[in-house]
Amino acid sequence: MKLSCREGMVPGETLKEKFKNLENWGYEGIEITGNVKERIEEIKEAEKESKVKVSTIAGVGGCLLSPEREERERALSDMRELLPLCSELGAVGVIFVPIFGGARLPDLSPLFSTVELEKELLIEQLKVVAKDAESSGSFLLLEPLNRYETHFIKTLADGVEICKAVSSPNIKIMADFFHMNIEEEDIAQSLKQAASYV
């Protein structure tokens, strides 16, 4: 396991300074967020001068579970744009959250409850973009969040269920101890059960 920290949480005036601070504190990785394509050379330069490497990229816009097609397409487009940058930077993959906050899709009972509809929509979209992940050699990393940040996919087991349904070797989950501390009854057991998807 490698210790990594999100870019915005690291003190430092410049990206190079952030890399240096993380290195001094014993970190091995940094999660890069925002405007990655525009900053690719700056990121490569900072990485070149440090033992800290880019672990993952975050910052997918849009919303995979929006009722608006444009928002869903923006999320998929952002994923497709970031996946090859992972390969270029040596990052594992792109972290994404399917939806923040409450549900935005309708309850279509008895056909589908809101959560059932969200699951089906997410799985179908991930099946499509999984091909891009596979061809780039990078991963799409679904991050379960705690109940205060999302109503959907809060535990590693929830994430594993989606990964199994998509059935792609390049769709995995990102286990975040902050969220796990709130949602998992037994963190060690949850990690053990989800190990092949983390």
Tens-place pLDDT, residues 167-189: 999 999 999 999 999 999 999 99
| Model pLDDT for residues 41-86, shown as the tens digit of each residue | 999 999 999 999 999 999 899 999 999 999 999 999 999 999 999 9
Under 8 Å between Cβ of 150 and 99 = yes
Rounded distance between C-alpha atoms, residue 60 and residue 185, angstroms: 29
DSSP-assigned letter for residue 127? H
Q: Specify the pairing of strand 93-96 against strand 139-142.
A: parallel
Nearest C-alpha neighbor of 62 from the set 93, 32, 98, 107 = 98
Whether the CA torsion 116, 57, 67, 121 is positive or negative: it is negative
pTM to 2 decimals? Answer: 0.94
Is residue 132 helix, strand or coil? helix
Domains of the chain (ranges; CATH) run 1-58 (no CATH), 63-197 (3.20.20.150)
